[in-house]
A and B are shown apart, each in its own frame.
Chain A
């Protein structure tokens, strides 16, 4: 078996994440993509507000930290001012699909030549497990103690499907990191989302289904199983847009 080598674009340890958190896997995939494409020296990363807020400590590139939900707007400003840079955002579901819904829709509609890594863990991790726009029907959170209900809360948002209805985006794919096979596929999708930007193809977003064992109240293994059995049926994996 090949020995695991730390990507140059990743700074360890990822000290702010809980043990078993899949943010760590996704960070590694992003860093590997940056390394493999050889773009680190002109890449600008944008950290969200959420558990990944400290991403600026972990990606070994110049980094910006954006206001909650505004990363696509910050990325737009950075990319327009310096189109030669590779600009990516790394956002959670509260950040991207709730407070930042307008920013992501319009960045996608404009076809901004940026890369978006969207980590959907169906909950607000950082603030302690409140309901997210992507929490599933029946899912218990600290603000849906009886379980999310359609009557009270409406249905969860399928971001990839929604954004793929726009003409702007070049590439939208939903992937998962619940097992090795899917992690490899997720890595390919993330690399493609960066390569698209290098090639000037335009807006690329990879939605990564992710776990939050701490706030789901499960062990990391149980959480991976819960993702597979509950999230994937509602959030089917696959390519939603490719031009």
Chain B
């Protein structure tokens, strides 16, 4: 059954369907519908919602709930996600699963409350301290947001690592028809035998200690190498991207999230004008679809990266293309959204220069 839902509410309901029973958050625009929805919904399913005193506390409450083996989520927008970074780093270090939603808004500082993609570096490089990564899903529609939210809980459990949903104000605020998928837990996800649930000698397992401290450097290095093995597995298995008209394209636009929808309209317009344009849309911005882009670089003549930032993902595109094709950039920032004709004009200009 399809129903009209606001992005934020759809994400919240998808989380509940996926078994999320605990939510800790602090109000910030443009994601308030997530905590508001959860505050009413979670008690109905025997869970708990708590409005924390800050994002710092919220992410540490997530740490506590995740430690017990529960499915737990927090959401925020850019300034609040900055505050969560120390906690996210601890969650990675302690190998806890959780889902974190960032409905990105304009920055830096208090910035604006309009949609942006300027937290890309923070999301994809491990925004807190230490050597870490996490899967970052960037939905471009509400239906996709719903599906990726459910997948996020599975991926988090599978790798015992946080997973981020990187949205923007548009994804959070707009309404679209959605059908809520029936959630089915993957068979490979077993019992969380590592969880802190209570121990006594003879209970059949060792004491569970949820910890990110490895005071001896050789053990800390080994811990990092173990984490790295998980990131390598994610890179191997979890990359998602969608290509549109990219097969025979001369000019390939790379864009994610809301920007990719606008870029697709510009690409279609270019095709109508006889320009062979195409689109590659990373759905996971980490791990980044570098193989897909490197392969496309063998076929096409030039790339155009479009973002709601002054150029962050373009670095990853350039790394993947590795100098074998020109990579142009166009971006709007601070809460401004690139227009179809602005992107089309860039495509046209590249075409003229070919």
B322 interface residue per 8 A CB criterion: no
Residues 41-62 (chain A) with a chain B CB within 8 angstroms: 41-44, 46-47, 53, 56, 60-62
- Residue in chain B with minimal CB distance to A71: B60
Is A77 a contact of B87 with CB atoms below 8 Å?
A: no
CB pair A78 B199 closer than 8 Å: no
Residues of A within 8 A of B64 (CB): 46, 64, 66, 73-81
Which of A44, A47, A63, A77 is within 8 Å of B24, CB to CB?
A77
B contact residues around A190 at 8 Å (CB): none
CB-based contact B197/A81 at 8 Å: no
B60 and A63 contacting across the interface, CB-CB below 8 Å? no
Q: Which of A46, A65, A77 is packed against the most chain B CB atoms within 10 Å?
A: A77
Cβ of B354 under 8 Å from chain A: no
Question: Using Cβ atoms and an 8 Å threshold, which residues of chain A touch B199?
Answer: 40-41, 60-62
Contacts of B50 in A (CB 8 A): 76, 80
Give CA–CA (A70, B52) in the complex, Å: 12
Once the chains bind, are A77 and B198 in contact (CB under 8 Å)?
A: no
B90 cross-chain contacts in A, Cβ below 8 A: 66-67
B295 within 8 A of A: no
Which of B70, B87, B198, B211 meets A43, CB within 8 Å? B198
**A75 and B87 alpha carbons, distance in the complex (Å):** 14
A60 vs B206: C-alpha distance in the bound complex, in angstroms? 10
Report B219 CB to chain A, min CB distance, Å.
Answer: 14
User: Residue B48 at the A interface, CB < 8 A?
Assistant: yes
Q: Which of B48, B196, B208, B212 has the most CB of A within 10 A?
A: B196
Looking at A40, A41, A74, A102, which has the most chain B CB atoms within 10 Å of its CB? A74
**A77:B67 contact, CB within 8 angstroms:** yes
B48 touches A62 (CB 8 A): no
**Structural contact, B196 and A81, CB atoms closer than 8 A:** no
Q: A105: nearest residue on chain B (CB-CB)?
A: B53
CB-based contact A82/B53 at 8 Å: no
Q: Which residues of B contact A44 (CB under 8 A)?
A: 67-68, 196, 198
Q: Is A103 an interface residue (CB 8 A)?
A: yes
Q: Once the chains bind, are B198 and A41 in contact (CB under 8 Å)?
A: yes
Contact of B57 among A41, A53, A62, A70 (CB under 8 A): A70
Q: Which residues of B contact A139 (CB under 8 A)?
A: none
Q: Closest residue to B199 on the A side, CB-wise?
A: A62
B56 engages A81 (CB within 8 Å): no
Q: A77-B72, A78-B67, A80-B65 are in contact. Are A70 and B210 (CB under 8 A)?
A: no
| Interface contact A77-B209, CB-CB below 8 Å | no
Contacting pair A41 B67 (CB below 8 A): no
The answer to whether A41 touches B196, judged by C-beta atoms less than 8 angstroms apart, is no
Q: Is the CB–CB distance between B212 and A80 below 8 Å?
A: no
Given A62-B198, A64-B211, A81-B48, decide whether A103 and B60 contact each other with a Cβ distance below 8 A.
Answer: yes
Write the chain B residue with the least CB distance to A70. Answer: B60
B159 adjacent to chain A (CB < 8 Å): no
Q: Which residue from chain B places its CB closest to the CB of A80 in the assembled complex?
A: B48
Chain B 33-58 per-residue mask, 1 if CB under 8 angstroms from chain A, else 0: 00000000000000010101110111
Contact with A along B173-200 (1 / 0, CB 8 A): 0000000000000000000000011111
Contact B62 A77 (CB under 8 A): yes
Complex CA gap A61/B200 in Å reads 7
Say whether B60 contacts A67, CB under 8 Å.
Answer: yes
Across-interface contacts of A60 in B (CB, < 8 A): 199, 201, 207
- Indicate if the CB atoms of B67 and A61 lie closer than 8 Å: no
> Are B56 and A102 touching (Cβ within 8 A)?
yes
Complex partner residue of A41 from B53, B65, B70, B203, CB under 8 angstroms: B203
Residues from chain B with Cβ under 8 Å of A65 in the complex: 94, 209-213
B212: nearest chain-A partner, CB-CB: A65
Q: Which chain A residue lies CB-closest to B63?
A: A74
A-B contact pairs, 15 of them (CB 8 A): A40-B200, A44-B198, A56-B209, A61-B198, A62-B209, A66-B90, A73-B57, A77-B61, A77-B65, A77-B66, A77-B67, A81-B65, A81-B68, A82-B68, A85-B198
Q: Lowest 3 CB-CB distances: which A-B pairs, in order?
A: A77-B64, A77-B61, A73-B60
